[in-house]
Amino acid sequence: MKKTIQCLAAGALLVLLPGLLATSCIREDNNAVRLQVKDLPETVTFAAVPAAPEAFTIDAKEIWVIRKKGLDWISVDPGSGGSGTYPIHLSSDVNEWEFPREGELIIASPSFTKTVKVVQEAAVIIGAVDFSGFEGETFRIPSMEGSYSFEMTANLEWTVSLRDLPWATFSPTEGVRKTPTAVTVSAQANEVTEPRTGYIDFTMPDGTVVTLAVEQEAFDAELSLSVNSVTASASGTVEPETVILFSNAEWTSSSDADWLSVEPASGEAGETPVKIIAGSNATAKDREGKVVFDNHGRKMELTVTQYWERLDLSAETVALNPQGTGSAADGEPCQVDLQASGPWTVSAPDWITVSPASGDGDAVLTVRATQNDIDDRQGEITVTCGRLTGVITVSQEYGSPDFIDLVKEQELVWPTKDTKAAVEAYSPEWVSKGIGRPSTHADLAYCQWVACEASLAMGFNLLYVIASNGNLVSRNNWTDDALVFHIPVLSLPAGKTVRFLFNMQGLGGQPAYWAAEINLDGTWVMMDTGATYQSPNLQAPANLFLSVTGSLPFEARYVVPETIKKKEIQLRIRVADGTFAINGTTISTVAGKSSSLRFQANSNYGGQGMTVRVE
């Protein structure tokens, strides 16, 4: 009797084959076999690294499909079909894990179901690490302090240990498998001139240790000296005494000679002036020593050669007066002590003489020069003793018969204390021209009373008289009339103070307000008398006040702002007012015929007359 199976329509079967295991069918036919699976064991086993696919055969008279359960690492080819004979290939991925894995392969058709277990052996994993971010097998870092990174990936979990790396740390110290990790080596600065190497060990659970070498570049030391050699005299004087050392790091020094040292003996990075110190040489022969400067292994040598010859001078500079006969300061003969260990000679410019000019052993040198009437000058005296030389720099100020050295002489005095005859000997032109002369340099300096045009327009002339007691007298003064002093000065250094000292007595209506002024460069400047006034008519400022019948000493000062040379300076005492009003009443200061102004000697100034001093 023939049986048939009543089931889903054939078209729906292809779609629903994955659910055939749950499909119920009624067998109406005989027991004819509709699907056969050949050469497929109940369990299929793959190695962790499969050598080749597994193969079996399906012989079918109906549609079929192969399902995978937990087998995403298995490939089936083909995975479904209809009537016919099909060679089936099972392929496995490589198992990269250290434990086995398994799943089920289900072969199903309308009339047949077969389940096969598929197993893959655990992988035998050997730890490995991949590095990126640098080339080669060594991680190289610069010599300076810093943090340096790269990336690594290990196929197993890992931990870190360091070897020969006291100068660095590593972070992180552990990581997970197959996870790219950014790692950092934090290193101290390498302060030696050789590279150094340490090691990072990555250890994994299977016992594998992967070692990475870390190499830090050598410290690039910089060290230099301004000179490589110096010389020293027998007494220990070093030339040059100071050497400039440059180092880009801390440095130290040492010497191979007990008579030789440096100060400081060590220092920090940067430029350092180093003083070379040598003891005296009593060996009667030349000798040599070395100072070694060390910057972390980079070294520089300074050679010090010391002669046994002795040449010492008590002065390196001398200043001569314009006459060349002595020092500029006190005029005393200019002498220099010479200490020498043997024969010596002297050379100098033709305007300088040195006595003696040669000798053997210690001596006293006397320095002179010719008269200097031109300009300041400078020259050098060279003393030679064997291989040693000493230099004396000679400077000489200029002098001139046409100028007065007020700095040296300090003052000029216009005498007003002696008899009329004595004053006329210096100032014979006072009565005729109002010109007065000082007691010294009467041929150069002078003073003169200058009348302004306004006073001449008043209809009376200035009169000049020398009183019987020697006072210089003028009459009929008016606004801006002035007594002007002309002094040809050799040199006035900046900072010197010019003092202008005089005594005035006004009689018969002389003006009350006056100004003491100085002219160095064409401009009149008020001097300092300790007082300031404004004339009542506001015509001009004043710094002196003279009562109608009073007799007063005055002193005016001025500090020279800039040095002047070979130039005439001028000082003056000027009338600073004229007619003015008080309480609405006009007061005239027109000089009467009996009025006079006297410049007198005064005990406040040592009994002298009008005086100009430089201090």
Question: Residues 366-416: pLDDT tens digits?
Answer: 999 998 877 789 999 999 998 889 999 999 988 777 888 888 777 888 877
Run of H or E residues at 270: strand 270-278
From CA 328, how far away is CA 395, in angstroms rounded?
A: 9
pLDDT of residue 468: 80
**How does 44-61 read in b/e, with b if 16+ C-beta sit within 10 Å?**
bebebebeeebebebebe
550 pLDDT tier (thresholds 50, 70, 90): low
pLDDT band at 30 (very low <50, low <70, confident <90, very high): very low
> Which tens digits make up the pLDDT trace of 230-282?
999 888 889 999 999 999 888 999 999 999 999 999 999 999 999 999 998 88
pLDDT at 409 (0 to 100):
77
> Which residues make Cβ contacts (< 8 Å) with residue 579, sequence separation at least 6?
537, 586, 587, 588, 589, 590
166: helix, coil or strand?
coil
E strand or H helix at 605, and its extent? Answer: none
pLDDT at site 559: 97
Query: At 407, is the secondary structure helix, strand, or coil?
Result: helix
187 has a pLDDT exceeding 80: yes
What is the per-residue pLDDT across 281-307, written as a single tens digit (0 to 9) for each? 888 888 999 999 999 888 999 999 998
pLDDT at 315: 94
Q: What is the mean pLDDT of residues 124-150?
A: 91
- Does the pLDDT at position 357 exceed 50? yes
Q: Which of 195-209, 286-300, 347-361, 449-463 has the lowest mean pLDDT?
A: 449-463
Integer Rg of the chain from CA: 58
Residue 3: per-residue pLDDT: 31
- d(CA 231, CA 218) in angstroms, rounded, equals 35
Euclidean distance between CA atoms 405 and 376, whole angstroms: 14
**Ranges assigned E (strand) in 457-535:** 463-466, 472-475, 482-492, 497-507, 513-519, 524-526, 533-534
What does pLDDT average to over the chain?
85
CATH 2.60.40.10 for domain 223-306, yes or no, is yes
Least confident of 60-69, 557-566, 585-594: 585-594
Lowest-pLDDT range of 155-169, 174-188, 327-341: 327-341
- 3-class secondary structure per residue, 415-467: CCCCCHHHHHHHCCCHHHHCEECCCCCCCCCEEEEECCHHHHHCCCCCEEEEC
Does residue 598 surpass a pLDDT of 50? yes
Fold match, 10-120 / 129-216? yes
In this predicted structure, what is the pLDDT of residue 7?
Answer: 32
Instruction: Please give the pLDDT value at position 162.
Output: 95
pLDDT of residue 56: 94
Mapping DSSP to helix (H, G, I), strand (E, B) and coil, where does residue 100 land?
coil
The pLDDT assigned to 13 comes to: 36
Distance CA 66, CA 58 (A): 11
CATH 2.60.40.10: does it fit domain 10-120?
yes
Structure tokens at 463: 């009169």
Range in 43-47, 81-85, 336-340, 511-515 the model is least confident about: 511-515
Mean pLDDT of 544-555: 78
Q: Give the confidence band of 537 by pLDDT, cuts at 50, 70, 90.
A: low
pTM > 0.85 = no
**Architecture label for domain 406-614:** Sandwich (2.60)
Record: fold of 311-396:
Immunoglobulin-like (2.60.40)
Give backbone dihedrals phi and psi of 111, rounded to 5 degrees, phi first. -115, 5
Please give the CATH number for the structural domain made up of 129-216.
2.60.40.10
Where residue 541 falls among pLDDT bands split at 50, 70, 90?
Answer: confident
Return d(Cα 4, Cα 299) in angstroms, integer: 107
Show me where the domains of the chain are located: 10-120, 129-216, 223-306, 311-396, 406-614
Helix or strand or coil: residue 18?
helix
Q: Where are the beta strands (DSSP E) in 93-178?
A: 101-109, 112-120, 129-132, 138-141, 146-154, 158-163, 168-171, 174-175
